[in-house]
Amino acid sequence: MEHQSLVRRLIAKPEFGPFVLLVVELVVFTAINPTFLSPLNISNTLVFTVELGLIALAMTLLMTAGEFDLSVGAVFGFSPVVMWTLFNQEVMPLELAFLVAIVIAALIGLVNGLFVTRLKIPSFLVTLGMLLVVRGTALFVTDGFPQRTWNAGDQWIAQVLVGDFHIGAFRLYMSLFWFIVVAVLFWYILTNTKFGNWIQASGGNPNAASARGVNVNRTKLILFMLCSAMAALAGIISSIRTSAANPNSGTGYELEVIAMVVIGGTALMGGRGTIVGTVLGVFILRTMRNGIVLVGVPGLAYNIFIGAIILGMMALHYGLERRHQAGN
Amino acid sequence: MAQDLVRMEHITKFYGRVQALDDVNFTVREQEIVGLLGDNGAGKSTLIKVLSGAVPSTSGDIYMRGKKVDIRSTTDAIANGIETIYQDSALVTQLSIARNLFLGREPVVGPSFLNRMDYATMNQVAGELLRRVGITKNIPTTTPISALSGGERQAVAIARAMYFDSDLIILDEPTNNLGVAETRGVLNFVRNARDRGHSCIFIAHNIHHVFQVVDRIVVMRRGQIVADNIDPKQSTVDDVELVITGMTDEELAAASATPAA
């Protein structure tokens, strides 16, 4: 009886569906093409997965608070441009340029947050506008050309952010380490801290949260800034790894990141969020992208699978929510 | 006679050009339960919103135990010992019972920079409070509010007011949409609150519920207080209905007999 109730509780968790889906993906892709689980393929997949994953983790907190940010893809492209332009023009050392780029990104988040919380404009519209402003600025500053980053290898900060190392046959990057650190930190914040309680309350019922003395606006402002700063960090990591700071990079990432978060079980309208679910969502989408190429499905068909996964997961989460509310 | 706990003097409130409150003087004494009645649009909700910090008054003063207080937000009201339980309970349905009870004032444990909520204390206190407000079902305090019935939600909101030992508990339509047993639970709570030293303002459309628990009835009409000392033990529901509507016996009887158009 107790065992049965444990199983039911496990199934009712929002992370259960994504977990099953990820396992199914791994089994199916490995069965069709065993090289899917080769160290080389896993290493290659992990590299980019964790860069997008860093943004998805911050987006999880923001969406739990009832908002989202469409400008993260543009900030992903813009921040490395800022950092490398400042460094290449010998305005400042790379470490300082890195800090300046992160601070500018946080300020972009602050502007987003102020528009949303003070002017009460929906975050969809505010961040859509900011997407265009930031992307346009990156293109204007660079004339559309990528900034050179190939002298990054000598810099200690590049080693700290993206240095590679080997564990057995696996070639891993420091970005994986940062992804794990951020995931654990954000999980702790959301599930164990007062601030995590405020994040969920701000998204679930902002009026009730305000009535209890929670500063909903400040909570959202912090999360907008965090989201932009994480997008900047991910963009900088990516630019060092690929040796190119392209002002166009990150186009479309905002929707992929939101899809990762939603597939993981975070409610689009706020109030409920799961970092574990987002980690699963990140791996589900990146595994799908990698797997369909390996099994011979044309890459252009990728979006069909992603769309189907989103619809399926939404139906699952909706069903679980209904059961939960009915007390089953 | 008990001392005044809250005294609102010359309270006026305009919404644009519409006057919702017109020079209202309203008092609640220590350990007193006041029923605040009035038809729709009489001004009782606005008066409560001013007292609970949800909206500012246009003019007028509020005193707590004789001392003038400045209530500009719900936080100010809570800090002054005023807790409001709204129709929808003002709970976050996605959060657990314990996390709702302590929202905004979560106890922390361990080093302060870790900001870690003290779940053990929260769950233990929440469990005790639920028993005190009459929830005898064994509901885990980690249950989200969305899984509770309307009465259980009201009980959680009431438990919160009890725990933080508010001097004045305002119940705005607390029996709306509740079943018979749940309504009885809420009314019992109101009676118990007085015994524990709290004062209450009880707002309800169901006058019979008000008569069962209050010490004094105050009636509002068109933004003004038209009766502020009706003793429920010496009045009938019909008497109070006449005051609420402002009609004579004959007018009220005629209005009741007229079929709806």
pLDDT digits (tens, 9 = 90+) for B73-125: 888 898 899 988 876 667 999 999 999 999 988 999 989 889 999 999 999 99
SS3 B10: strand
The Cα B186–Cα B202 span in angstroms is 11
Q: Is A288 on the interface with B (CB under 8 A)?
A: no
Q: What is the pLDDT of residue B54?
A: 86
Q: Of all helices (H) and strands (E), which one includes residue B236?
A: none
Q: Which residue did the predictor score with more confidence, A280 or B130? A: A280
Strands B33-38 and B216-221: parallel
Q: Is A191 on the interface with B (CB under 8 A)?
A: no
Instruction: Please report, for residues A162, A231, A232, A233, A274, the alpha-carbon distance to residue A187 in angstroms, rounded to integers and kept in the order given.
Output: 23, 18, 21, 19, 8
Q: Is A212 on the interface with B (CB under 8 A)?
A: yes
Residue spans of the domains in chain B: they are 4-257
Residues 6+ apart with CB under 8 A from B245: B39, B251, B252, B255
Q: Which of B84, B95, B114 sits opposite A201 (nearest CB)?
A: B95
Asked if B104 and A193 come within 8 Å (Cβ–Cβ), the reply is no
The Cα A161–Cα A173 span in angstroms is 8
Task: Compute how many other C-beta atoms are within 10 angstroms of the C-beta atom of residue B250.
Answer: 8
CA angle A185, A191, A194 (to 5 degrees): 95
Q: Which of B92, B102, B106 sits opposite A271 (nearest CB)?
A: B92
Q: What is the pLDDT of residue B21?
A: 95
Instruction: Please report, for residues B7, B11, B62, B145, the alpha-carbon distance to residue B25 in angstroms, rounded to integers and kept in the order given.
Output: 7, 7, 10, 37
Q: What is the pLDDT of residue A316?
A: 80
**Chain B contact probe: residue of A184, A193, A212, A323 with most B CBs at under 10 A:** A212
Instruction: Please report, for residues A5, A90, A210, A319, the alpha-carbon distance to residue A236 in angstroms, rounded to integers and kept in the order given.
Output: 46, 18, 37, 40
Q: What is the pLDDT of residue A324?
A: 59
The Cα B166–Cα B82 span in angstroms is 6
ipTM at complex level = 0.83
Q: Which residue has the tokens 């190429």?
A: A293
Q: What pTM was computed for the model?
A: 0.85
The CATH code belonging to domain A13-325 is 1.10.3470
Q: What is the pLDDT of residue B253?
A: 64
Torsion of CA A54, A58, A64, A65, to 10 degrees: -170
Residues of chain A contacting B139 with CB distance shorter than 8 Å: none
Q: Is A205 on the interface with B (CB under 8 A)?
A: yes
pLDDT digits (tens, 9 = 90+) for B11-41: 999 999 999 999 999 999 999 999 999 988 8
Burial of residue A207, with CB atoms counted within 10 A of its CB: 0-12 exposed, 13-18 middle, 19 or more buried? middle
Q: What is the pLDDT of residue B190?
A: 83
Residues 6+ apart with CB under 8 A from A150: A243
Q: Is A214 on the interface with B (CB under 8 A)?
A: yes
Residue B261 has pLDDT above 80, yes or no: no
* Phi/psi at B226 (5° precision): -105, -15
pLDDT digits (tens, 9 = 90+) for B160-190: 877 877 899 998 888 776 777 778 877 887 8
Q: What is the pLDDT of residue A9?
A: 78
Asked if A324 and B147 come within 8 Å (Cβ–Cβ), the reply is yes
Distance, CA of B169 to chain centre: 5
Asked if B103 and A267 come within 8 Å (Cβ–Cβ), the reply is no
Residue B249 has pLDDT above 90, yes or no: no
Q: Is A210 on the interface with B (CB under 8 A)?
A: yes
Residue spans of the domains in chain A: they are 13-325
Q: Half-sphere exposure of B245 toward its Cβ, with a 13 Å CA cutoff?
A: 15
Topology classification of domain B4-257: Rossmann fold (3.40.50)
Q: What is the pLDDT of residue B260?
A: 46
Q: Which of A192, A207, A211 sits opposite B117 (nearest CB)?
A: A192
For residue A114, list its beta bridge partners.
none
Q: What is the pLDDT of residue A24?
A: 92
The alpha-carbon gap from B133 to the nearest alpha carbon of chain A, in Å, equals: 20
Q: Which residue did the predictor score with more confidence, B260 or B183? A: B183
pLDDT digits (tens, 9 = 90+) for B51-78: 999 899 999 999 999 999 999 888 889 8
Contact A254, A69 (CB under 8 A): yes
Q: Which of A197, A211, A325 sits opposite B146 (nearest CB)?
A: A325
* Phi/psi at B230 (5° precision): -85, 125
Q: What is the mean pLDDT of each run of 10 residues along chain A (328 residues)?
A: 70 86 93 92 91 97 97 97 92 94 98 97 96 96 84 80 88 93 97 96 92 91 98 95 90 93 91 96 92 84 82 80 59
The alpha-carbon gap from B3 to the nearest alpha carbon of chain A, in Å, equals: 28
Q: What is the pLDDT of residue A301?
A: 82
Q: Which of A205, A267, A327 sits opposite B92 (nearest CB)?
A: A205
Confidence category of residue B158, pLDDT binned at 50, 70, 90:
confident
CA angle A246, A252, A253 (to 5 degrees): 80
Contact A97, A82 (CB under 8 A): yes
